[in-house]
């Protein structure tokens, strides 16, 4: 059996974390060339909730990522490793929340989804 692609792993995690929500997942872009994989997904949930997931993976290592939560088109939470905040102690990993940039100690998609779900639980 061939190893799972990163896309398959991400879809499994999304199903696990969002099982009780009526969300649709769309693979906007997915490309695998040898040991390199790029994926871009959009998750749409009731209540104006959207999640954007982007990853560039090489040899099973996530090289670049961006995970973003929007509520009614407002940026609520984003994790990414774009190298533009060298002042953050977890550079290049950082998160954007409520207009502020801060350190990101666990840059995983799982941690992002868990934090996003907590924010949504407290969101009016």
Q: Does 54 map to a domain?
A: yes
Please state, in angstroms and rounded to a whole number, the distance separating the CA atoms of residues 93 and 103.
7
Measured in whole angstroms, how far is the alpha carbon of residue 49 from the centre of its chain?
Answer: 14
Looking at residue 3, its pLDDT comes to 63
**Averaged pLDDT for residues 34-39:** 96
How many domains, the chain?
1
Q: Does 110 map to a domain?
A: yes
Domain that holds residue 63: 6-122
Its pTM stands at 0.94
Looking at residue 98, its pLDDT comes to 84
In 3D, which of 117, 39, 52, 61 has the Cα closest to residue 79?
52
Q: Does 100 map to a domain?
A: yes
Q: Could you report the per-residue pLDDT of 60-75, keeping only the tens digit for each?
A: 999 999 999 999 999 9
Please state, in angstroms and rounded to a whole number, the distance separating the CA atoms of residues 104 and 81.
9
Q: Does 95 map to a domain?
A: yes
State yes or no: pLDDT of 27 exceeds 80.
yes
Question: Residues of the chain with pLDDT > 90: what percent?
Answer: 86
Q: Does 1 map to a domain?
A: no
Q: What is the DSSP letter of 88?
A: S
Residue 10 has φ and ψ, to the nearest 5°, of -65, -45
Q: What is the largest CA-CA distance in the chain?
A: 45
């Amino acid at each position: 059996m061939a190893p799972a692609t990163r896309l398959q792993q991400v879809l499994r995690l999304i199903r696990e974390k969002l099982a009780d929500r009526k969300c649709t997942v769309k693979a906007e872009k997915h490309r695998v060339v040898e040991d390199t994989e790029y994926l871009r997904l959009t998750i749409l949930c009731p209540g104006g909730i959207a999640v954007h997931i982007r990853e560039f993976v090489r040899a099973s290592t996530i090289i670049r990522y961006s995970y973003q939560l929007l509520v009614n088109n407002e940026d609520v939470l984003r994790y990414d490793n774009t190298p533009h905040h060298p002042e953050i102690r977890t550079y290049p990993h950082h998160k954007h929340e409520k207009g502020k940039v801060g350190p990101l100690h666990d840059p995983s998609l799982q941690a992002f989804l868990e934090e996003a779900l907590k924010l949504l639980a407290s969101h009016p």
